[in-house]
């Protein structure tokens, strides 16, 4: 991809190790405790900036600001006016997209070519939800009560929304939470990951510039244990929306019981990819490989269990391993980089432990498997794209979400066997199928237990199409009209007219 700007120059201009305050009630403020935390570049370990380490007191202030805005000026905005706000935000995102992309790359390591390529998706979300702001409505319902009685429904905003997002897609994740809240008339308190807080603060600045009223959007930086936990349990938050690990999602669901707040969760996965014997191998190899290796495997939908028909298994896995070996690994800010670093040393260490477990349990290491060192990688958290063969379904690497660039390849003999093994997991977030037979595609897609199933492709996400998981991968949907319903209450109204 040829860039029409110098990302390194823009990166130098963006962050200099300075303090970046959080955004509460329309004001830029430090943590009430005065505590701060560092935002590190995962490719180099350098300090990009410092941000407030918010705590329960800061969450309380943000929720109070969101409540005041919800019951005050924001409640008077018509659907058309909310639409105009979202369209102004979209315009500002267009203007500042390079800055947002560079910030994402510095904040969490995804190569600049990929953060730039998210433009259509993110701005498309803003414009989609802007369109939906004026399309929300209730229904007039014929009832069977004696007399002249009219019954109808209204769709009303749920209230104050608490949103907790992960570090692997700060821009997209922020907008996927904020945009439907604004479209429906809710207010929001966003708690970004402590590992990637800078871009959400940049987004808050653009929200303010777009004319979002004070308190409608608030961004509180801090740890999950301090700020995140308080937001999840807060008695004046009407809804929690969370994207992250299944373990944390379970804790958030329990916390939501305190006031029976609405909860929607997009959690972990151990997604299968099934490559049938009639698949187009040339097309399937790079897609199946990047279903995991994109963002160094740090995506919830990573297709890390690769089931390949035995007739083509050896050739397919060999070619995936060769593909992995050709990927250019380096700093995300470089235009030629295809695979960037893992988010931090802790996550890199966990992935190394999984790789060791794979070898110890008898899997065959075919490609990668090492942490990269040397001048290019000093200070960063780089792991070579890894491919294991001879994997059994009971091995740790085939059962647990690794969140790293690791593929577990396994042969299968029949489609019934492939389906049974693909579904033999507590997760149900996504799946991929490769086949040239339309009937096979339909049959497998229907039988696979996953919220999204891609055929002869992977990673497709569109604002108009629902996305979410089944079973331990969570509940609720993001995208489409179902997403907006997550932020709305249905009120039934009865009027006797005689």
Average pLDDT of span 384-406: 97
- Whether the predicted pLDDT of 400 surpasses 70: yes
CB neighbours of residue 391 within 10 Å: 22
Q: Which of 163, 137, 184, 149 is nearest to 244 (CA)?
A: 163
**pLDDT score, position 143:** 95
CB neighbours of residue 496 within 10 Å: 9
- Whether the predicted pLDDT of 2 surpasses 80: no
pTM value? 0.95
Average pLDDT of span 421-439: 98
- Whether the predicted pLDDT of 337 surpasses 70: yes
Is 266 noted as a catalytic residue in this protein?
A: yes
- The greatest distance separating any two alpha carbons of the chain, rounded to the nearest whole angstrom, comes to 84
What long-range pairs does 348-353 form, CB within 8 A, spacing at least 24? 348/381, 348/382, 348/383, 348/404, 350/402, 350/403, 350/404, 351/297, 351/383, 351/402, 351/403, 351/404, 351/405, 351/406, 352/383
- Convert 21-54 to b/e letters by CB count within 10 Å (16 or more is b): bbbbbbeebbbeeeebbebbbbbbeeebbbbbbb
Residues 6+ apart with CB under 8 A from 383: 296, 342, 348, 351, 352, 355, 368, 370, 371, 372, 404, 405
Q: With pLDDT > 90 as the criterion, what percentage of the chain qualifies?
A: 96
DSSP 8-state code for residue 186:
-
Catalytic pick among 300, 338, 401, 486: 300
Is 300 noted as a catalytic residue in this protein?
A: yes
CA distance 347 to 271: 20
**pLDDT score, position 1:** 62
- Whether the predicted pLDDT of 428 surpasses 70: yes
CA distance 176 to 161: 13
Average pLDDT of span 204-215: 98
Average pLDDT of span 181-192: 98
Q: Can you tell me which residue has the tokens 């396994």?
A: 410
- Whether the predicted pLDDT of 270 surpasses 70: yes
**pLDDT score, position 320:** 98
Average pLDDT of span 38-47: 96
pLDDT tens across 308-321, in order? 999 999 999 999 99
CB 153 within 8 A of CB 485: no
**pLDDT score, position 275:** 98
Q: Can you tell me which residue has the tokens 């997403």?
A: 483
Burial class (CB in 10 A: 0-12, 13-18, 19+), 374: exposed
| pLDDT averaged over every residue in the chain | 97
**pLDDT score, position 498:** 85
Number of H helices, E strands in the chain: 17, 20
Q: Can you tell me which residue has the tokens 């069977």?
A: 144
Average pLDDT of span 164-171: 96
CA distance 101 to 99: 5
**pLDDT score, position 7:** 86
Catalytic pick among 194, 226, 266, 338: 266
CB 401 within 8 A of CB 303: no
Q: Token pair for residue 490?
A: 């249905």
Average pLDDT of span 273-298: 97
DSSP 8-state code for residue 387:
E
Q: With pLDDT > 70 as the criterion, what percentage of the chain qualifies?
A: 100
DSSP 8-state code for residue 288:
H
């Amino acid at each position: 991809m040829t860039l029409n700007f110098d990302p390194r120059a823009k990166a130098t201009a963006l962050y200099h190790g300075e303090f970046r305050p959080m955004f509460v009630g329309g004001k830029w403020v430090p943590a009430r405790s005065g505590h701060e935390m560092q935002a590190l570049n995962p490719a180099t370990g350098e300090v990009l900036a410092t941000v407030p380490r918010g705590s329960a007191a800061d969450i309380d202030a943000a929720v109070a600001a969101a409540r005041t805005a919800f019951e005050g000026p924001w409640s008077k905005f018509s659907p058309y006016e909310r639409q105009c706000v979202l369209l102004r935000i979209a315009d500002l995102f267009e203007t500042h997209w390079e800055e947002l992309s560079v910030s994402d790359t510095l904040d969490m390591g995804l190569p600049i070519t990929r953060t730039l390529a998210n433009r259509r998706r993110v701005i498309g979300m803003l414009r989609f939800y802007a369109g939906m702001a004026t399309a929300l409505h209730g229904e007039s319902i014929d009832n069977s009560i004696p007399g002249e009685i009219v019954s109808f429904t209204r769709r009303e905003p749920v209230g104050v929304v608490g949103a907790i997002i992960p570090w692997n897609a700060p821009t997209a994740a922020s907008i996927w939470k904020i945009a439907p809240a604004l479209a429906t008339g809710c207010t929001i308190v966003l708690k970004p990951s402590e590992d990637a807080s800078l871009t959400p603060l940049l987004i808050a600045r653009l929200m303010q510039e777009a004319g979002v009223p004070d308190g409608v959007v608030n961004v509180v930086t801090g740890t999950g244990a301090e700020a995140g936990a308080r937001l999840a349990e807060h008695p004046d938050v009407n809804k929690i929306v969370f994207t992250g690990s299944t373990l944390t999602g379970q804790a958030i669901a329990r916390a939501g019981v305190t006031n029976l707040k609405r909860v929607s969760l997009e959690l972990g996965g151990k997604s299968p990819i099934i490559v049938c014997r009639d698949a187009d191998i040339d097309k399937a190899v790079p897609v199946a490989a990047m279903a995991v290796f994109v963002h160094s495997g740090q995506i919830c939908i990573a297709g890390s269990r690769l089931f390949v028909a035995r007739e083509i298994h050896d050739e397919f896995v060999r070619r995936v391993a060769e593909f992995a070996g050709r990927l250019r690994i380096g700093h995300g800010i470089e235009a030629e980089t295809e695979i960037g670093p893992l988010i931090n040393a802790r996550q890199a260490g966990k992935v190394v432990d999984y790789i060791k477990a794979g070898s110890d349990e008898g899997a065959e290491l075919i490609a990668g498997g090492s942490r990269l060192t040397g001048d290019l990688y000093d200070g960063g958290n780089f792991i070579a794209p890894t491919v294991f063969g001879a994997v059994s379904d009971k091995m740790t690497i085939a059962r647990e979400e690794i969140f790293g660039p690791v593929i577990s390849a396994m042969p299968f003999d029949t489609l019934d066997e492939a389906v049974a093994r693909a579904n033999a997991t507590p997760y149900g977030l996504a799946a991929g199928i490769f086949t040239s037979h339309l009937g096979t595609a339909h049959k497998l897609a229907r039988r696979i237990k996953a919220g999204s199933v891609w055929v002869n492709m992977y990673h497709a996400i569109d604002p108009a199409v629902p996305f979410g998981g089944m079973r331990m991968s969570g509940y609720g949907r993001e995208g489409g009209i179902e997403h907006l319903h997550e932020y709305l209450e249905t009120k039934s109204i009865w009027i006797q007219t005689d």
